[in-house]
Structures are given as structure tokens and as C-alpha cells.
Amino acid sequence: MSETNPVTSMAPSTAHTFDARAYAAPSATEPLAPTTIRRRQPGPTDVQLEVLFCGVCHSDLHQARNEWQSSMPTVYPCVPGHEIVGRVVAVGRDVRAFREGDLAAVGCMVDSCRTCPACQDHQEQFCEGPAVFTYNSPDRHLGGVTYGGYSESLVVDEAFALRVPDGLDLAGAAPLLCAGITTYSPLRHWGVKEGQKVGVVGLGGLGHMAVKLANAMGARVVVFTTTPSKAEDAVRLGAHDVVVSKHEAEMQKHLGSFDFILDTVSAVHDLNPFMALLKRNGTLTMVGAPDTPLPVSVFSLIFGRKRLAGSLIGGIRETQEMLDFCGDHGLTADIELIPISRINEAFDRLMKSDVKYRFVIDMASLR
């Protein structure tokens, strides 16, 4: 593929658009490659960001490879990326919260209807509109679909741009925009607090943030991993105990003892051994998103009145609350910084659970 292979299905160039370099998946089976996309010129309430860092979420991989075909089919070309930290380079005339030169961050959403009950309740992720996700959602301005942060620039309504607290490393802060909020929100919603016993299943991007956040909330944290070599890191990240989930005897020791378990696993796996670890009235919440239905024993739910639940990112207000919490506690992701030319290698390593613990793209590598 040439250096700037034009994307054929993009909106026509007009005075209201500009071109931006990006990386896109041309199809489910081809690697990501350089391309050029079109962005809208900032409208009255928009901010234009120069993207500095973009985290690599396993959702980017699911979407680029059309692994969510039955629930969220991918429109190609697909420009992933929803863990974005950038510098404001232009603002619309009515923008109040940002000025040129400010830092700003964008997560998984770039718009919503703003009027439905979910939006009124600051839960824009559940917008009945529905929410406009940062990539692969219908683009209300240019037609086609939205393009994400694997791009040199992004234009977003200021209502969906967030403030990065002072003092946080910017590359390490980028993953907070998805991995951070996706784990913070369920920990808060299910009332995790000091002294509770919390399990985190899967030590990848989401899992390692869940460990840091649950630890900072005062919980006793146990990590369940399939990769024994991650045990030492789990403790360094804030886990009080580590269980290799394939070892039945280790699992047995924790039967009936958890208040809350957060499952961040990206692939099909057996939930039943984890249901057995919950206390009476305990909750296991799925944030990991394999596309295939997972069988659950009804008996594991009814004996102990247990709950199996799910959670989707978090609203904009709660995302700012999470960023501020991370600012107060000095929390960022443990990252491996890569140039964008290594994105396909990063995807392949994610498939092998070989990530410590989030890849972040240094977007200067695209300029």
C-alpha cells in the first residue's frame, strides 16, 4: 500500500472539511495501513485536536477484524482508536471549556442525542439516539462512519471532550479514556468499597486498570490470570493475591468469598467457576466482550441469589470523575509506547495476551 492510499468511500472534499493522515483496516482480513481521511472543519461548539497519544484497546482489534459481526458489524475502511489525548489546535466560536493550546482527551463517544432519559441521566453510553461512538458509528456531519484516534487529528463537540488532570503522564493517561472508565464505572456502580474482596479476571489493558482502581478504592484485590508469568506484576500493580485460573485447587481456596468480580476477558471462556467464587448476593460483571453467547448454570445463580451483569464504558460526567480520581491518586496505565507502524504487531500480541499492559501509539510517528 502506498504512503497515503486514499480511502475511496470517504465524504467528498469541501470547504467544510480537511484531510488527515490515519491508519485504517481496509477489510476484516487485511492489516491496518496508512491512508487519508476527511475531517469536518470545527463548527461553533467543536474543538479540533492534534492527536498526541492513542491507546490500543482490544475493542479496536475486535472491530477492525469484524469479530463483533452479529452485534456491531464493521464498516470499512475502519479507523479505530478511542483512548485519545491531544492538543487543542482550533476551537469553534461558541466553545467555552477549551482554548487553543489546551490538552483535551476523547474516549469512546463523540456525541449523543442529549435529550433521552439516558442522556438526561448523564449515561450517554446508553443513549437511545443511539450514542455516536468514536469510530464505526454513523457520522451525523459527513455521512459514512466516524473515524477514531489512529489519526493525526480529531474534531469533536466540546461536550464530549475531557480534561486531563495536571501531573499525569500523557501517554499513560490515554488508556484511562476506555480501560480506565470501563473498569471504574462498574466498581462504583456496584459500590465497591474499603474492605471488600474484589476479583479481576484477565490481566490485560482493562484488567490492570481494574486492579489499580479497586486497590485505590480500598478493596482487597485478587487477580485471576491464565498467564502465570504475570503474577509478580499483578502484585506490583496492587493485587493482594493472584490465582492461575486453570489451577482448580487454587480456585477452590476462594469459593464463596467474593463481593464482586469484574471479568475483562476478551475471548470465550467458562464463567461458571467464577460464579462459584461469589458470596451470597455477590455480582459478577462482564466488561470483556466476546461475541459468542456464554453458557451459565442457573443453579450457580439461584443458590446464593447471585447476579451476572454487564457494563458499558461510562458517561461523560463519570469519565471526568474517573480522570480526576486518577489525578488525585497518581494513577495511569503501564504502557508500551509504539510507533503507529507497529500497530499490526501490537494486534497480534494482544491476541496472545502478550501485553504489559497497554500499547499506546505515539502519534508523532504519523506526522
Bridge partners, residue 241, by sequence? 222
- State the binding partner of 33 from Zn ion, ligand NAP, none, CB within 5 to 8 A by kind: none
Q: Is 266 in the site for ligand NAP (CB under 6 A)?
A: yes
Of 7, 24, 51, 57, the residue at the interface with ligand NAP (CB under 6 A) is 57
Q: Is 112 in the site for Zn ion (CB under 5 A)?
A: yes
- State the binding partner of 137 from Zn ion, ligand NAP, none, CB within 5 to 8 A by kind: none
Instruction: Calculate helix-pair angle for 179-189, 316-329, nearest 10 degrees.
Output: 100
Q: Is 21 in the site for ligand NAP (CB under 6 A)?
A: no
CB of 83 to Zn ion, least distance (A): 6
Of 275, 350, 360, 363, the residue at the interface with ligand NAP (CB under 6 A) is 350
CB of 168 to ligand NAP, least distance (A): 20
Burial status of residue 307 (CB atoms within 10 A of its CB: 0-12, 13-18, 19 or more): middle
DSSP symbol at 329: H
Q: Please say which residue, 18 or 126, places its beta carbon nearer to ligand NAP.
A: 126
Q: Please say which residue, 80 or 282, places its beta carbon nearer to Zn ion.
A: 80
Q: Rounded to the nearest 10 degrees, how much is the dihedral formed by the CA atoms of 79, 80, 85, 91?
A: 40
d(CA 277, CA 199) in angstroms, rounded, equals 9
Count of Cβ atoms closer than 10 Å to residue 129 Cβ: 16
Bridge-based pairing of strands 241-244 and 220-225 is: parallel
- State the binding partner of 206 from Zn ion, ligand NAP, none, CB within 5 to 8 A by kind: ligand NAP
Which range in 145-153, 160-168, 325-333, 350-358 contacts ligand NAP by CB under 6 A?
350-358
Q: Is 59 in the site for Zn ion (CB under 5 A)?
A: yes
Q: Is 289 in the site for ligand NAP (CB under 6 A)?
A: yes
Residue with the shortest CB distance to ligand NAP: 204
Q: Please say which residue, 42 or 207, places its beta carbon nearer to ligand NAP.
A: 207
- CB of 337 closer than 8 Å to CB of 357: no
Asked whether the CA dihedral 157, 148, 340, 312 is positive or negative, the reply is positive
| 126-155 residues near Zn ion, rule: CB under 5 A | 127, 129
CB proximity list for 229: less than 8 A, separation 6 or greater: none
250: Cα separation from own chain's centroid: 30
In the complex, which residues of this chain contact ligand NAP (CB under 6 A)?
A: 57-59, 62, 178, 182, 202-207, 225-227, 230, 264-267, 269, 287-289, 311-313, 350, 353, 355
